[in-house]
Amino acid sequence: MKQFSINPLLFIHTLVALLLLAACGPEETDIPAELPPAEITIVTGNNPTQVETELFRSFEDTYPGVKVKTENFGRNPRAYLESDTPPDVMIMWTGDWFLDPMRDGLAADLTDLWAQANLAESYPAGLRKLTELNGKQYFMPVGYQWRGIYYNREVFAENGLQPPQTWAEFLDACETLILNGVYPIALPRNAPWNTSLWFDYLDMRLNGAAFHRALITGEESFTDERVRNVFLTWQMLFEKSYFLMDTSITSEMDGVSALFRGDRDFPLTREKAAMTLTDAFATSDFPQAFRDELEFFPFPTIDPDVQRGESVNAIGYIVPAKAPNPVQGLAFLSYLTSSNARQLLTRQADAGINYAPALGVSDAADLPDRARMGLEIVQGADDIMLPIFWASPPQVRTQIESVLRRFFMGMEPEKEVDIDELLADLEAARLSAEAAGEYKNE
């Protein structure tokens, strides 16, 4: 089986994001008073953080006969679920790698747990679309990422700039920066999951959320003139030299590092920029002093008359259908909604964690500023959906990566690119995936 690969940042400090569950929790479920003794395995992110450790110990204190053993996530989700010795609880995020195993009955049905916790009321409707299958739920949500354009506050102040709200204001800001010798935008060109966000947002802002969703689900053609206009608009930004084309900036972290100015003694990147489009989690692993340099704003409005879409990922837990200790695994998910767990997590609140709460917003004012702002971005959307790179069938995803690489190469000096050829290749991949039944939109 092919080795599974995903953005490694996605898993760092994942459980710390549960503090957002504490701030805006659901109703408390009826957790059992006692559980049979067992050692349960929980597959989580990287080595347990302090919050994770305290959470697991608190669960063990509540159920003295239950011990928690943790395992770092390192394989394809399906490999865990189909194993003869699957874990009892497993971290999971939304996308095809989640829904495909669910269709094959590889995870426990959590619909009753959702009903007990009243998640159908507290979990945003748009996010329920990402985890619902045939009217049932197999996913205990924790939080979700937002996307935005992150910028260096000092650089903006030095150039007399405010966060732009409209496309015209954004272009004016880019022009001001370039005239003052500052590259406006860092682009981590070797990170397709990140750079494809430009396609997501340009399409949503130009053509609306409904069209973009239809494109993601294979119901619209990549050769549609509206998609061509997305690439032409993107190309215009390159032609104006708004993107920093430093070949050393290859990763999502490089894109964020290019914004920092407090690293003057030991620069993290060779060249610097003022902005980058990225997900909220990309800043989490940097020191607080660097994070304090940054702020973010929603992707600007291009056409106020089109439906506003936002790109998100949700993260949470599942219990494998073949879990050795399903009773204890389900009890752990129930425990996350308990007042005891929420109080513990509230005490561990850390403003550096960049997840918005998935389970209600009654106490949103108490959230860290960035989480509250991210929440407002998602709440203000007409529709929310996965990034096209993660939502597409594998062969389409592979072609997206190829097309982006060729598109960026064509933006280099004295190079050219045939946009129609790129779109034709994407459309061929879409048609092939459609013929193979790889688009599953139920």
Q: Which residues pair with 152 in a beta bridge?
A: 294
Tokens of 337: 């909604």
pLDDT tens for each residue of 258-311: 999 998 888 888 899 999 999 877 887 788 889 899 999 999 999 999 999 999
- Do residues 387 and 313 touch, judged by C-beta distance below 8 A? yes
Across the 442 residues of the chain, what is the mean pLDDT of every consecutive 10-residue run? 35 34 49 85 78 84 94 90 95 82 92 85 75 88 85 98 98 98 94 95 98 96 98 97 88 92 86 93 84 95 96 88 96 82 53 53 60 80 92 95 96 93 98 93 59
Dig out the tokens for 185 from the structure: 């935008």
Angle at 277 between CA 276 and CA 278, to 5 degrees: 110
Spatial separation of the C-alpha atoms in residues 214 and 98, rounded to whole Å: 20
- Residues 216 and 119: their CA atoms lie apart, in Å, by 26
Task: Output the pLDDT for position 29.
Answer: 60
Residue 2 phi, psi (nearest 5): -65, 140
Q: What is the DSSP string of 239-261?
A: HTT-EE--TT--SHHHHHHTT--
What single-letter amino acid sits at 187? L
Return the pLDDT at 264: 81
Q: Which two tokens stand for residue 227?
A: 């998609």
Mind listing the domains of the chain with CATH numbers?
8-145+312-385 (3.40.190.10), 147-309+392-435 (3.40.190.10)
Strand order in the sheet with 147-152: 243-244, 183-186, 273-279, 147-152, 294-297
Instruction: Give how far Cα 416 sits from Cα of 199, 235, 406, 411, Å.
Output: 19, 11, 10, 7
Residue 361 has a pLDDT of 44
Sequence-distant (≥ 6) Cβ neighbours of residue 266 within 8 angstroms: none
Residue 90 is encoded by which pair of tokens?
Answer: 């497993």
Q: What pLDDT, on a 0 to 100 scale, did the predictor assign at position 351?
A: 40
Q: What is the pLDDT of residue 48?
A: 65
If DSSP codes are grouped into helix, strand and coil, which group holds residue 273?
strand
Q: What is the pLDDT of residue 355?
A: 61
